[in-house]
């Protein structure tokens, strides 16, 4: 199941969502320090984490699943949002250098098909960065945040799934070691929780962050075929205002 776009947007507009955005943005940027000249795509609801790449990447876009709905991003520049079917991305083969997947894999009804499609659009040696709820963490056990929905994964499950789809995991990190509560007094200690939790209880983090590299050796993943009639898009592509599930603009 996919969360509705309004639920995701509203979470990131609250104090807890702002802290999550700050913490995960730091982790993401630490892995992709230089994307100059690269095509960077966010899949799922990744727009809160794409802002730092806008002025650096050659092309940066937010691909949002149709079952989730879409929001216009960014708010004060040409729209870079594209509403898509996650297993049929409107992109040529080997056209994306970096793909960031947030609020997506755990929501997908067919994770294997999703990864096969990501494999298809990534360039040789292209990189995939997954941000997924941790199966052992407390965030996956409460539905007060978007990380409490869908299917959480352990690190071992993620690595197995990636290898089956011809990806090689190259890096891993944990994040969100604080409890998923909206209490203001506790939010003030979020940075301390993150620092201490990363050392003391990393296995129980709220999310797993796994970077993987596309591999070309061996056969293509089953189902990863070129769709000659797929309608392609050029980024940034404006979204029509009449789109039924496209809601108001999002900042950043």
* The pLDDT value given to residue 14: 95
Q: Which two tokens stand for residue 114?
A: 């999703």
Please classify residue 232 by burial: count the beta carbons closer than 10 Å to its beta carbon, then call 0-12 exposed, 13-18 middle and 19+ buried: exposed
Vertex 10 angle, CA 7 and 14, to 5°: 135
* pLDDT for the residue numbered 244: 40
pLDDT at 117: 98
Within 10 A of 34 (CB to CB), how many other CB atoms are there?
7
162 Cα distance to chain centroid:
15
pLDDT in the model for residue 2: 77
**Second-level CATH architecture of 5-247:** 3-Layer(aba) Sandwich (3.40)
- Which residues share a beta bridge with 212? 128, 169
The size of the chain, in residues, is 252
What is the structure's pLDDT at 252? 62
- Between CA 47 and CA 49 the distance in angstroms is 5
Looking at residue 121, its pLDDT comes to: 98
Tokens 């994040």 belong to 175
Q: What is the pLDDT of residue 62?
A: 98
Find, among 166, 66, 63, 149, the residue nearest to 112 by Cα: 166
From first to last of its 252 residues, what are the pLDDT tens digits of the chain?
Answer: 679 999 999 999 999 999 999 999 999 999 999 999 999 999 999 999 999 999 999 999 999 999 999 999 998 889 999 999 999 999 999 999 999 999 999 999 999 999 999 999 999 999 999 999 999 999 999 999 999 999 999 999 999 999 999 999 999 999 999 999 888 877 888 888 888 888 888 889 999 999 999 998 755 555 555 544 455 655 554 444 334 455 555 666
Say how far residue 170 (Cα) sits from the centre of its chain: 17
Give the per-residue pLDDT at 229: 46
- DSSP string computed for the chain: ----HHHHHHHHTSHHHHHHHHHHHHHHHHH-S--TT-EEEEEES-GGGTGGGTTTSSEEEEEEETTT-EE---SSSS--EEEEBTTB-SS-TT-EEEEEEESSGGG-S-HHHHHHHHHHHEEEEEEEEEEEEBTTSSGGG-TTSGGGSS--B-HHHHHHHHHHTTEEEEEEEEE--S-S---HHHHTTHHHHHHHHHHH-GGG-SEEEEEEEE--SSSPPTT----TTPPP--SS-PPPTT-TTEES----
> What was the pLDDT predicted at 241?
39
Report the pLDDT value the prediction gives residue 222, as an integer from 0 to 100: 57
Residues paired with 96 in a beta bridge: 122
């Amino acid at each position: 199941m996919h969360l509705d776009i309004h639920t995701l947007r509203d979470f990131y507009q609250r104090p807890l969502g702002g802290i999550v955005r700050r913490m995960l943005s730091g982790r993401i940027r630490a892995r992709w320090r230089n994307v100059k000249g690269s095509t960077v795509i966010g899949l799922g609801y990744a727009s809160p984490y794409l802002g730092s790449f806008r002025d650096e990447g050659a092309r940066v876009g937010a691909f949002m699943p149709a079952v989730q709905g879409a929001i216009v991003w960014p708010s004060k520049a040409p729209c870079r949002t594209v509403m898509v079917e996650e297993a049929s991305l409107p992109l040529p083969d080997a056209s994306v250098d970096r793909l960031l997947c947030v609020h997506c894999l755990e929501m997908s009804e067919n994770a294997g098909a999703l990864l096969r499609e990501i494999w298809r659009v990534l360039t040789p040696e292209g990189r995939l960065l997954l941000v997924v709820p941790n199966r052992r963490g407390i965030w996956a056990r409460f539905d007060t945040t978007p990380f409490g929905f869908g299917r959480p994964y352990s690190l071992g499950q993620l690595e197995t799934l990636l290898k089956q789809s011809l990806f090689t995991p190259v890096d891993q990190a944990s994040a969100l070691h604080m409890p998923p509560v909206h209490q203001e007094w506790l939010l003030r200690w979020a940075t301390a929780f993150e620092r201490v939790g990363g050392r003391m209880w990393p296995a129980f983090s709220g999310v797993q962050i796994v970077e993987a590299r596309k591999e070309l050796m061996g056969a293509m993943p089953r189902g990863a075929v070129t769709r000659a009639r797929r309608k392609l898009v050029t980024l940034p592509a404006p979204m029509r205002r009449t789109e039924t599930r496209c809601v108001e603009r999002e900042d950043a």
